Structure 1
Amino acid sequence: MITAPPLHRSVAGHGTDQDTLPRAAAHPAIHPRLVVPGSEDGPLGLAAERALGTYDKGRYGTDPALLMDTLEASGLRGRGGAAFPAHIKWRGVAAGDGPRVVVANGEEGEPASFKDRWLLTHRPHLVLDGLLLAARTVGAGRAVVYLSHPLTVAAVRTALAELAEHDAESAARIEIHTVEPTYVAGEESAVCQSVNGGPALPTAKPPRPHECGVDGRPTLVSNVETVAHAAWISRHGADAYRTEGTRTSPGTMLVTLSGACARPGVYEVPLGLTVGSLFAEVGGGLNDGVHGFLMGGWFGGVVGLEGTGTTVCYDAMRAAGSGLGCGAVTALGPDDDPLRVAARIAAWYADESAAQCGVCVNGTKAIRDTFARLADGTGSAADHTRLARWGLTLSGRGACSFLDGAATLARTTTAVYSASFPTS
């Protein structure tokens, strides 16, 4: 079980709002890659991992160029939220001059998401294997695991101690860097600044981390689930990876389901299901009265009940005006008043802003204050107009895209729940 810190509690008041999260499981129709038998109770120890092929250089591991081509052929997209093609980031760092650095980013700042913590506490060796693989592939001499939650730090330290008995040289290449949990601490430039000894706050771009990151070196910052998938791909190949998922969103992913459903938890599922089938086939079904969903943690905003038919893949979610992000989906039930939910999320955005860009500070506060008025019954129809406008005009502003989440909340709430707003 994983204890949830206050930052990550679900605003809807269900599932991850509890002190513990149910154990993970895999979709019954797939051959699991991450939530393998024996890992549900975790952590999976070194002997069990080695039996699965972890730390075996595998079919592609001795040839970095071939591994890079295999990663591209697999279509793996980053699981940290942006869904950027993994091979492009890896190639960008490999093409850099001088020594390079790789960072496995396990600072799970996305609200209502527990998938990275599950992976780090149940399969830490798979993450370390993927990190070492990334280091070999891009030619990095320094490898860092970036963490915030005490349980993940303890699990990775134990795994490194086990690895040292098997491969002292590999274990010595990996260091752990801990940081206080905030949303922006997981942004890739904030990761680099923190590892460099500064505050975990985003920096101006350019340069980007793949150009100048940790110690001023080309740096690959990759989500821990991404490197875990890369380790699996290195042993099984691109074709095997593509047996699940869709053409543009291949493979499986870890999702966190919470809110008004029968079995909240972390699940490994194939990309390409619908939101409705996601809850029906692994989440035990939706409760009566569900009227919408919070998508991608909270960064994808809200979708209405029609969202049950939306395909769980990156392109379909984007086309629907939302986002899959980290794969966290919260079902909103009859007790979840849309304006009160939005007010609580907007307050979180205002609190979590890095406060480095005036447009972000002012924008998140304005959205927070407007939703607060609407939630306590003192708002007006003009507030609906303001929020709808900010949802369009504030997107893309600021240095680190954090404001985009608050803007998406404003845009989607005014669109999906327009009937909940005052008419005068």
Structure 2
Amino acid sequence: MTRTHSLTRPGTPTVLGPAPGTTEDAGTYTATGGYGTATGAAELLELIATAGLRGRGGAGYPTAAKLRAVRDAGHQAGARPVVVANGEEGEPGSVKDRWLLRARPHLVLDGLARAAQITGADRGYVYLSDPTAGDRVRRALAERAPGLPVEVVETPHTYVAGEETAVVRRINGGPALPTAKPPRPHERGVGDAPTLVANVETLARIALIAARPDQRHRTARTTLVTLAGGAAEPLLAEVPYGQTLRSLAAAQGDAEPSGALMGGLFGGLIGPGRLGLVLDPDALAAAGTALGCGALRFLAPDECPVALASAALTHLAAESARQCGVCVAGTGAIREAVGALTTGTAAPDLADRLNRWSTSLPGRGACGLLDAAAGTAGSLLRAFPHLVRSHLDAPCPACAASAGGLTVAVPLVAGPAVPHQRTAPRSR
């Protein structure tokens, strides 16, 4: 079972909210300041900019810059933009977005409406694959409309379905597969209109900044993380930047992990000597890793990182959109090479090949899946070179015994007791 817990300072507005185990209804949300109108669009955009809020979908792009780009593209094209709440988290180790849509749909819808006001959008979408989350969002829309037409669009769950061009393609009636860039969605997206594709946690934090401008810096420097691995149960936690990775492992229940898989499958592996790194996008990037979507998978002391890397690469290869030949071939080759390490059947030149692929393949696919595979291989070589060498000589007992689990369950959220009345637009 996955737990929830806040590590924030008293008085900090939280995305987890006061009752994370129950879906928040419209009355409760409005009674605590939700859907307020005191903060205007221009003022809110400036507050977001000065707070330094970054996107929580993985790339960490400055939110204010993204909002301005969509607004300005709409002005230049003479078209009304579209806003999309992206709740399709493809990372198997992340649960925050599905939890948010299940537990606090009004917080997300409030943020979506604020983003629409800033960009000048006249319609919005909530994009997801989780049926329970879809049900909670439709119920919330039936309770209280957020001020613009909003449609729920469901998609089959895949690793690449949440990539922003895949989101646009699916809403436009096609498959949830990435497309070549440019154009990017902010230039031409849903129905060819400038489109904001924003992660649901990003939108939730926009709503919190609108409700508590005085706490905007704390809101922007606090984030949801999914902590898993080791012997402890997974934990969805809300934490301020500056916490060490070691302290997060302790909060989950792991006394001293032997490393971690960072940022879902995008930040790569780190060894035990780097658990003193602090949770901060810039600090982690400078150290050669990434916060990504906030999913951290800790290694138990007796767990082999080669087996964990192999499980990650097997997942990525299976989830390839199979649109780019270089991705199909590259992820497959990396998967086979690291898989051979786990069985002690790797060729002597394996480390050289992995190193070459880790530097030559990133940036060559239509999305980030190939980058994640290449980054995982490169990080294994950097963080655990001695283990790579030892796996060339003989099969590893720890690899043979590894279950290789990557998936985390969403924390339980009890639904509201009110009858369900579907008055919102039906999903496509």
Scaled to the shorter chain, the TM-score interval is 0.7 to 0.9
Alignment match, 1:78: 55
**Cα offset for 1:29?**
3.2
CA distance in 1, matches of 2:144, 2:150: 11
Alignment match, 1:421: 388
Alignment match, 2:44: 67
Structure 2 unaligned residues grouped into runs of 5+:
394-428
Alignment match, 2:198: 222
Q: The residue matched to 1:33 in structure 2 has which SS?
A: coil
Alignment match, 1:146: 127
Alignment match, 1:283: 252
**Cα offset for 1:381?**
3.1
**Cα offset for 1:25?**
1.5
Q: The residue matched to 1:95 in structure 2 has which SS?
A: helix
CA distance in 2, matches of 1:381, 1:119: 47
Contact 2:13 2:215 in 1 (8 A): no
Alignment match, 1:163: 144
CA distance in 2, matches of 1:72, 1:350: 38
Contact 2:48 2:209 in 1 (8 A): yes
CA distance in 2, matches of 1:29, 1:64: 28
**Cα offset for 1:401?**
2.4
**Cα offset for 1:376?**
1.3
Greater RCO, 1 or 2 (C-alpha within 8 Å, sep 6+):
2
CA distance in 1, matches of 2:95, 2:48: 26
Q: Does 1:254 align with 2:234?
A: no
CA distance in 1, matches of 2:117, 2:353: 51
Segment drifting more, 195-204 vs 29-38: 29-38
Residue type of the partner of 2:63? A
Structure 1 unaligned residues grouped into runs of 5+:
1-19, 245-249
Contact 2:47 2:216 in 1 (8 A): no
Contact 2:249 2:255 in 1 (8 A): no
Residue type of the partner of 1:366? A
Alignment match, 1:134: 115
* Equivalent of 2:217 in 226, 242, 246: 242
Residue type of the partner of 1:200? A
Alignment match, 1:7: none
**Cα offset for 1:74?**
1.2
Could you report, residue by residue, the CA deviation over 1:349-406 in whole angstroms, capped at 9, with x for unpaired residues?
1111111112111110110110111111101331111112211111222122221100
* Equivalent of 1:379 in 323, 334, 346: 346
Question: Residues 323-342 of structure 1: matches in 2 within 5 Å?
Answer: 323-342=290-309
Q: The residue matched to 1:421 in structure 2 has which SS?
A: helix
Contact 2:13 2:212 in 1 (8 A): no
**Cα offset for 1:183?**
1.1
Q: Does 1:90 align with 2:67?
A: yes
Residue type of the partner of 1:91? R
Q: How many pairs were matched up?
A: 386
Contact 1:102 1:221 in 2 (8 A): yes
TM-score (norm 1): 0.88
Could you report, residue by residue, the CA deviation over 1:397-422 in whole angstroms, capped at 9, with x for unpaired residues?
21222211001101000111111124
CA distance in 2, matches of 1:316, 1:263: 27
Alignment match, 1:29: 9
Alignment match, 1:310: 277
CA distance in 2, matches of 1:228, 1:33: 9
Segment drifting more, 377-386 vs 406-415: 377-386
CA distance in 2, matches of 1:296, 1:342: 13
Segment drifting more, 209-218 vs 48-57: 48-57
Give the alignment's Cα RMSD to 1 decimal.
1.6
Contact 2:316 2:373 in 1 (8 A): yes
Contact 1:135 1:141 in 2 (8 A): yes
Residue type of the partner of 2:249? F
**Taking every aligned residue pair, what percent have the same amino acid on both sides?**
46
* Equivalent of 2:171 in 195, 199, 222: 195
Contact 2:90 2:158 in 1 (8 A): yes
Contact 1:260 1:287 in 2 (8 A): no
Contact 1:251 1:271 in 2 (8 A): yes
Residue type of the partner of 1:156? V
Could you report, residue by residue, the CA deviation over 1:70-92 in whole angstroms, capped at 9, with x for unpaired residues?
21111000000000000111000
* Equivalent of 1:116 in 97, 103, 111: 97
CA distance in 1, matches of 2:109, 2:218: 25
Alignment match, 2:417: none
Alignment match, 1:181: 157
